[in-house]
Amino acid sequence: MVEAQSVGEHAATRDREGWVTGTLVLFCLASTIITVVAGLVQVTFGEYSMTFVEAWSAVFEPTVLFNLEAWSSFLFGTELPEMSTDSVVVWNLRLPRVFVAIIAGATLAISGAIFQAVTRNELASPFVLGVSSGAGFAVLATLVVFTGLAPYLPLIAALGGTVAFLVVYGIAWKGGTSPVRLVLAGVIVNMVFQSLQQGLFFFVDDLGVAQTAIAWLTGSFTGTGWGEVRIALIPGIAAIAIALASSRQLNVLLLGETTAKSLGMRVERVRFFLSGIAILAASVAIAVAGIVSFFGLVVPHIVRNVVGGDYRQLMVGCLFAGPALMVTADVGARLALGGMQMPVGVVTGLVGGPYFLYLMRKQQSMGEL
C-alpha cells in the first residue's frame, strides 16, 4: 500500500513538473510586471493633478494598504475612514478602474480559451458565440424601455448573455452538437441581436442614455468604482477557479468527441457545463465593462503561442496575460487622444480585427457539420 502510494505521488509530481515549465513561470512573471506598471501609470492620470511620485506613494501608503476599515469600505461598502486627499483620489477613484480591468481581462481570456476548446475551433470566442450581443441587447433594452431596472443592469447583462448562448445551443442541437454547428449558430444569433440593438436606438430620445448605451456596447472602464469590483469579484473568482480545475477535461475535449467518449467522458454534459462556466466568466466582464471586442479571441492565441497548447498551461497563462493586456489597453485608450478617453473596446477592436482576419486566413479547415 505504501509503495503504491509512493508511486502515485511520484507520478503526480512528474505530471505537475511536466506542465509547470520555466517558460510558463517567466511568462506569468512578465505579465504580472506589465500589469503592475500599467496600473501605476493608470492611477497617475486624472482630473486631479498628481505627480508619479505622489500617486505611487498613495498606492503603497501603509495607513491605507494595511487598514482593515479601509478594505471593509472598499469591499463591503461600509463608511470610508479618514484619509488624505491623495489616498482618497487614488484608492477610491482610480485604483478600482485598474481592479475592474484586471477582473475583466482575466475572465474574458479564460472564457475565450474555454470556448475554443469546447468548439474545437480557434476562431471561437464569447463574441462569436453570441454571448456579448445577447448581453448588449439586454442592456440596451433596459436603458431604453425598462429604465426602472437600471440599478440591476450588470445582472441583466449576464442574464442576456446566458439566454443568447442557450438559444445558440438549442439551434446547434441535432442529436448532439458539433463545433461547427455551435459557431454557425452563434454567428446567426449574433447577427440577430446586433440588428435588434440597432433597432432599439430609434427609440432613444435622451442623449445621456444614448451615450451610456454606446459606451457599454463599445467597452469602457470610465466611471467604474468599487461597486463594480464588488459585483464582479466573487462570480469572477468562482468562474476562474472552476475553469482552472477543468483544464484536464478541456484537454480531453480537444482530442475529439469520439476519443473523449472512448475515455469515458459524457461529452455533451461536459461541453454544456464548461460552456456555462465560460458564459459566467464572460458575463462578469460584460456586466462591469461592457463589450470589449475580440479580447477573448486574441489573448488565448497569444498565450498558446508562448506557453503551448496544454490547457493546464494555457489557463494559467490566460489568468496572468488577460489582466496585463487589458490594463495596458485601457491605459492606451485613456492616453491616446490626450484629454479625451477612448473606449477600451475600440483599442481591442483595432488590434483584434486584423488578428481575427489573420486567423481566418490561416485556418485550413473549419471541420464538419
Do the beta carbons of residue 105 and residue 327 sit within 8 Å?
yes
Interacting residues of 155 by C-beta distance below 8 A, sequence separation 6+:
287
Overall domain count for the chain: 1
In a domain, 91, yes or no: no
The CA-based dihedral angle spanning residues 154, 157, 162, 163, taken in that order and rounded to the nearest 10 degrees: 140
Domain that holds residue 182: 100-362
Question: ∠ CA(182), CA(188), CA(193), 5° rounding?
Answer: 120
Q: Could you tell me the sign of the dihedral formed by the alpha carbons of 68, 71, 76, 77, in that order?
A: positive
CA–CA gap between residue 148 and residue 130 (Å, rounded):
26
In a domain, 84, yes or no: no
CA–CA gap between residue 323 and residue 105 (Å, rounded):
4
In a domain, 90, yes or no: no
In a domain, 63, yes or no: no
Do the beta carbons of residue 339 and residue 222 sit within 8 Å?
no
DSSP letter for 90, please.
Answer: I
In a domain, 64, yes or no: no
In a domain, 61, yes or no: no
Do the beta carbons of residue 91 and residue 83 sit within 8 Å?
yes
In a domain, 338, yes or no: yes
Whole-structure pTM value:
0.87
In a domain, 110, yes or no: yes
CATH code at position 318: 1.10.3470.10
Local confidence pLDDT in tens for the 369 residues of the chain: 433 334 334 434 445 456 888 899 999 999 999 999 999 999 998 878 888 888 889 999 998 989 899 899 899 888 888 888 888 999 998 999 999 999 999 999 999 999 999 888 777 788 878 888 898 788 778 877 787 776 676 678 778 888 998 898 888 888 766 667 877 888 899 889 988 888 887 877 777 777 777 777 788 888 888 988 988 899 899 999 999 999 999 999 988 888 888 888 888 889 889 988 998 898 888 888 888 888 998 999 999 999 988 999 999 999 999 999 999 999 988 887 776 778 888 888 888 778 777 776 776 554 555
